[in-house]
Structure formats: structure tokens, C-alpha cells
Amino acid sequence: MLYILIRTSLDIIGILGPQKFNIYSLKIGTANKDLLFRLTIPQLILAILAITNYHVQIITRLSSGLPMWYIVMATALIETSAEAAGHELKGLSKSSEGGEHQIKSVNDDTTPTAVVDTTLYIYGGRSKKTSLQTDNTWNNDFLKLDLSKDFDIGSAPIQGLPKPSGPPAVALGYLWNDLTDLYLYGGQYSDSPPATPDDFQLWKYSVSDGSWSVPDATIQGGGEIKRAAEGAGVSVPNRGKGYYFGGHLDGYTTKGWSQSIPRLYLTSMIEYDMSAAKWINHTEEGASFPERADGVLTYIPWGEEGILLALGGGNNITFSQLNVIDVFDIKNNKWTKQATSGETPKIRVNACAAVFSAPDNSSHNVYMYGGQNLQPAGEQVQYDDMWILTIPSFTWIKVNTDGQSNPPARAGHSCHAYRGQILVIGGYVGQDLSCDTGVYVFDAFRLEWQTNFRGGAGTGGDSTNIYQGNEDIFYGVPAVVVSQVGGGSTGGATVTAPQRTPVADSPLTGTNPDYTYNPNAPQGSPAITLITSTVTGPAGVRTTVITATAVSTGATSGNNNSRSTSVGVIVGATVGGVAFLIGALLFLLFLWYRRKVNQLHHSYEEQQVTQGLVGPDGRPMSMASGGYTAGTENGRSKEDLMEGVEPTFWGMLLQPRRSLRVVNH
């Protein structure tokens, strides 16, 4: 194939002559100028070799002497010559059964993924055979990646599984998992060509026998579950729970929904209990927030049953700021807000996140990577930055990756925590880059992008990673986090509460299901009580004992020296003055605290971005297949995903649009 590509390219140059082979009217990035470039034969061959191998590291190393438009031209030649010769491009799936496959990230965005034991599963999404393809991109391909072995990111051993006959071809859905099975929820059907959604069904995949089925699930309180898309999902494998927050309903998600009916954005959250096969609709209680889609939902093992953090996202009108985090208390079924400290990331949609816990669970670190900013309208940009939100401090820390071989900026990708690494899968990388490996690895301890993945046994599917005394094997707290929360790589964080005072009913106090934490432990007593956790996996029962040293609140000390001088007179003379000073100080602190709280609430309301995607006429923009259409805010409307029960899904009616993700501008 390589011979055909190079020969075809050289034939073109031979016909035109090296001095006549020009690229006219080639637009790079957002430039609007017609550019004229000249390729030499050696440079073109280098570009073809780089693109043919789909290896970003090769492209990066050549970038100093090989301009990006050479790469773009080589890609076009490859696609043209490959199609003319009747060949399939490397990195694209011919079928979903057997053989090796490779994610081509520019095409494979919004693809559901999940990890069970030592295998990553990839379902459906959108993919293209060429960068120019605009329709027939939805699919129900089913792939897997073995995580038990090492591999190079440029040649990840992705293999095809039998393509299912029941589950639909959808993108923008979510793949839940427990320790043995997968559950496909939600998703959007194709809009080019338009596809009519079927009745909603939750599909279950049994890893043990490779079969798909529809669970006979019940709904707490009765009613009917509908299919949502573009929401944020998270699995809690050890507890057998899946959550889906926000998203939208429209004619590509819901059977019988006319395309003339505006899209409905959601603020609701549903829960699926995998062991009980039961749906639970969480009503909107506590703090309120705008409807949103394309956000991130993470699980933190804090409190009696844990908490969920909703990060980023938005709709056509409002984008969620990251200086205040929405926190859901699972035990009490209630939303609260928590202000953050530190430098705040920019607003974004379609980011990904992975969570790592300190070995002693004294801190939990949310790694947020990438995403997309859709403001101003029509000038969207993808991000390549990495941030850490450390819990319970709720401090944002920007990770410095300057000088590293960073992946191209992306949105719509997924992230998974595995053996102290973040595995990044897929994503939309823009239109200027026509190829991408689609699989990347970030070392969560050293804070470095890696060229290969360290495989091995997993951690039983837990959302955290148990430390075994070696940061090469499992997770250790990085120094940049230690500098903010105290302790060391094995834990022992001394910051045990949010830096910004939590609200009165915040869940950020109390005990944790995976360890016991007592912030009011007497001086000299352990604040963290060690535990033994038992995880049941497909291969049987696996027990891990955390052996970290208990964190003490401090050491007692004493001074036996006594003074014979009477202090009665001194105490009597000063007690009145001290009492007065303390009273005055407490009064001033109260006034300061009330002012800061008012400022915080005011700041949060002010910083909600309200301009949205604004069109030339000042109205909000919405995205439909093939371009933009003007949208208007039609107000709020109740909409229930569980018919027959009290409506709890609130949304904002907007003109129909496919996604917040701008991919055709």
C-alpha cells in the first residue's frame, strides 16, 4: 500500500513537474488568505510516511522542518490514492469482527467506553473512512483493548468484537459497567442521513459469555424511562451503580418526537442499580443550576455513600463556570454548591476526567483534560490543558506540561484511570489535523505524557487505585498536589476541608465508606482509621489491605516547669481586657464572614456566562447538521423522563440542534 501511495504521489509530481506542483487556495486554521506552497519530493515522501503510520510523535519531530500543510497535502494524497486503489486506510475498521483496529481520533468522538477488569470496551460513536466524509458516520461497532499488557500508543492492539444486532448505532450516550457487565444507556441516532429512534431499551452486555440482552428492570415509583443524549455519565463499579446527569431530548433521541419540536435540555439525573435492575429518578433538590449538556460527572468516595461532582458543560444560552462546583450527596439525594480556590480553568464542554485517590484516602484528585470552548460563536477552540481538582480542599491546580509531547487538543474524548495512568481515548481534534492515534497515556504521578502504556492487573474496577508502595505500579500523590494539601506521595493530607467554607448542609464532612475520617480527633489520636477493602471481580474474590501509616492530628507536649510567682493579680487585671478584645474580634469576624458569603453568591451569579452562542442578529445560535440556525430561548418547560410520576426533568426549549460540539464550521 505504501508503494502505491508514494508512486501515485510521485506520478502526480512527475506529470506537473516539481516546480509546477502547487497547492492553491489552501486555508490553514482560521486564516482567510489564499496560500501558495511548493512541495519537494523528499518532503512529500516524509509526510506520506508520517501520515501512513498515523504516529503523532513522528509528526511532532518533523514539524520543525516539515510544515503542517505538507502533512495536510500528504493526507489528501493518501486518501485519494487509497480509494483509487480500492484499499482501506490504516486505522479504520473494516468490520467489527476480529483483527486489529485503531482509533482515528478526528473521526471517533463522542464514543462510549468502559473498563471491566483488564479490558477497555468501545461501543459505537461516529467514525469516518476519510476526513471529507460528512454522513453515514454513526455506527454500532464494538471493540476492545487489552490492558493487561504493555503497548505503544501508536499501535494500540484494539480488536473487533462481533457487531451486535440489537443495540442501536448511537453516539453521545454512555457505557456503564459493574465488575462483570456493561450497560449501554442513551445516545443520539444519526442525523445525516436522518434515522428514526426506536423505543428506548437499556442494553446489557455479559463479559463472561459475550451476549447482549435487555434487563427486565423496574422503575422506582413507576413510569417510563426515556433515552437522553449528550449528558454526563459515571459508573461506580464496586457499588453496582450508574448515573447519568443532564443532556437533552429531541427527535434523534426520542421516538415520536417531531423534528419541528424544539430540543429540550435537562437538569435531571437518573440512577440505575445494576444488581437490583432498578431505575431511580433523582429529583432536583437543594441548589439549582441551569440546564446543561456535554459536562463531566465524577464519583468521589466521600461521605456515607459518596458524592458526585458535575464539572463544566452548558447549553445554547449558559455555560457552567468552574469556580463553583455542583456537588450531589448520594445518601441525602441533594445538590449543593462548593466554591473552589486556586486558578480556575476556563469554561468548557466535552472535557474528560479521571479520579485517583491517595493511598490512605486522605485526598481524592480529579484530573480534568481537554474540552472545548464555544465562545465566541463560530470560533470554537479545543483545549490540551490538564487540571487537578483536589478533594476535599477543592483547590484547582494547573499541570505544567510544557516541553512534553502533548497530544493534539481535543474534545469529546473519554478518560480512564488505570494503574496510576490516565488512558485517553478518541476525541474531536479539529479539521486542520487529519490524523491522530486516538490513544494516549498520561502518568498521573509524574504528570507526564507517555509513549507507551504500562499494562497489568487492574484494581477490581474501582474508581480509585490502591497504592502498593511503588508509584510505577499504582498511584502516588504528585508533588504539586502535596504542596497544596500537605502529606506526601502516600497520603497524609493535612488539609481536611474545603479552602472555601462549605455551606451548612454540605456533605463534605463525616465518614467515608472506604475509610473512617474524624476531623475532630483528639490531639495525638489518628484522624484516619485504616481499613481492609474486599473487591469481588470476575475471577473471584480479591482482597487488598491498605497499610499506610495512620495520620495523626498532632503530638502532645508538656512543660513541667512551674513558676512560683503568683499570677492571680495578672489574671484579674487582664481578664476584662481579653474578654473585650475577643468579643470585638468575633464581631468583626462575623461581619467579614457575612460579607464574603454575599460576595461569593454574587460572584457566582455574575460569572454565569449568559451570552451563549450569539448570532449576527444578537440571538442565540444553535447547531444543526450542516451549519448554524438561529435559535431563541423559549422559556422553561417541565418534561419527565419517567411518565406517570411527578415531573422532575426541567429543561430549556431551544431550536433543534445536533450538539454543542461544533465540528462543521
Q: What is the pLDDT of residues 252-280, one digit of tens each?
A: 999 999 999 999 999 889 999 999 999 99
Residue 305 located in a structural domain: yes
Pair (238, 315) in one structural domain: yes
Whole-number pLDDT of residue 597: 57
Pair (312, 184) in one structural domain: yes
E strand intervals along 82-180 = 100-101, 113-116, 119-123, 142-146, 151-152, 158-160, 174-177
Pair (174, 277) in one structural domain: yes
Q: Which residue has the higher pLDDT, 492 or 528?
A: 492
Pull the grid cell for residue 94.
Answer: 473494516
Pair (170, 46) in one structural domain: no
What are the distances in angstroms from CA 199 to CA 27, 167, 225, 247, 251? Answer: 44, 11, 10, 18, 12
| Amino acid (one-letter) located at 178 | D
Whole-number pLDDT of residue 375: 80
Which backbone phi and psi does 577 adopt, to 5 degrees?
-65, -40
How confident is the model over 565-594, as a mean pLDDT? 65
How confident is the model over 504-519, as a mean pLDDT? 59
Pair (72, 152) in one structural domain: no
Burial of 440 by CB count in 10 Å (0-12 exposed, 13-18 middle, 19+ buried)? buried
Burial of 509 by CB count in 10 Å (0-12 exposed, 13-18 middle, 19+ buried)? middle
Given pLDDT bands bounded at 50, 70 and 90, which one contains residue 659?
A: very low
Pair (153, 11) in one structural domain: no
- For 70, the 3-state DSSP assignment is helix
The secondary structure of residue 188, as a DSSP letter, is B
Residue 384 pLDDT > 60, yes or no?
A: yes
Lowest mean pLDDT, pick from 226-235, 444-453, 517-526: 517-526
Residue 77 located in a structural domain: yes
Pairing of strands 218-219, 278-282: parallel
Which backbone phi and psi does 589 adopt, to 5 degrees?
-65, -40
Residue 579 located in a structural domain: no
How far apart (Å, rounded) are the C-alpha atoms in residues 197 and 90?
32
How far apart (Å, rounded) are the C-alpha atoms in residues 296 and 232?
5
How confident is the model over 74-100, as a mean pLDDT? 39
* Contacts of residue 402, Cβ cutoff 8 Å, sequence gap at least 6: none
Residue 400 pLDDT > 60, yes or no?
A: yes
Residue 219 pLDDT > 50, yes or no?
A: yes
Residue 430 located in a structural domain: yes
Given pLDDT bands bounded at 50, 70 and 90, which one contains residue 574?
A: low
* Contacts of residue 577, Cβ cutoff 8 Å, sequence gap at least 6: none
Residue 519 pLDDT > 80, yes or no?
A: no
Lowest mean pLDDT, pick from 263-277, 321-335, 397-411, 522-536: 522-536
Quote the Cα angle for 60-66-67, to 5°. 95
pLDDT per residue over 413-424, tens digit each? 999 999 999 999
Pull the grid cell for residue 594.
Answer: 457575612
Residue 616 located in a structural domain: no
Given pLDDT bands bounded at 50, 70 and 90, which one contains residue 602?
A: very low
Residue 41 pLDDT > 50, yes or no?
A: no
Burial of 561 by CB count in 10 Å (0-12 exposed, 13-18 middle, 19+ buried)? exposed
Residue 570 located in a structural domain: no
Pair (151, 290) in one structural domain: yes
How far apart (Å, rounded) are the C-alpha atoms in residues 72 and 435?
9
Residue 563 located in a structural domain: no
> Domain end: 415, 447, 481, which one?
481
Residue 89 located in a structural domain: no
Pull the grid cell for residue 376.
Answer: 465566541
Whole-number pLDDT of residue 187: 96
Pair (294, 173) in one structural domain: yes
How confident is the model over 164-180, as a mean pLDDT? 95
How far apart (Å, rounded) are the C-alpha atoms in residues 254 and 36?
48
Which backbone phi and psi does 319 adopt, to 5 degrees?
-115, 140
- For 428, the 3-state DSSP assignment is strand
Pair (305, 205) in one structural domain: yes
Residue (of 252, 233, 353) closest to 659 by Cα position? 252
How far apart (Å, rounded) are the C-alpha atoms in residues 660 and 238?
32
User: Structural domain tally of the chain?
Assistant: 2
| % of the chain exceeding 70 in pLDDT | 58
Whole-number pLDDT of residue 101: 52
pLDDT per residue over 104-162, tens digit each? 443 456 789 999 999 999 999 887 766 677 788 889 999 999 999 999 999 999 999 99
Pair (63, 117) in one structural domain: no
> Domain end: 27, 50, 84, which one?
84
| Domain CATH number, residue 110 | 2.120.10.80
Whole-number pLDDT of residue 131: 66
Given pLDDT bands bounded at 50, 70 and 90, which one contains residue 168?
A: very high
| Amino acid (one-letter) located at 662 | V
Pair (71, 120) in one structural domain: no
Residue 430 pLDDT > 70, yes or no?
A: yes
How far apart (Å, rounded) are the C-alpha atoms in residues 389 and 387?
7
Pair (32, 168) in one structural domain: no
> Domain end: 16, 49, 84, which one?
84
Residue (of 485, 455, 451) closest to 472 by Cα position? 455
In this prediction the pTM is 0.69
Domain of 22, in residue numbers: 2-84
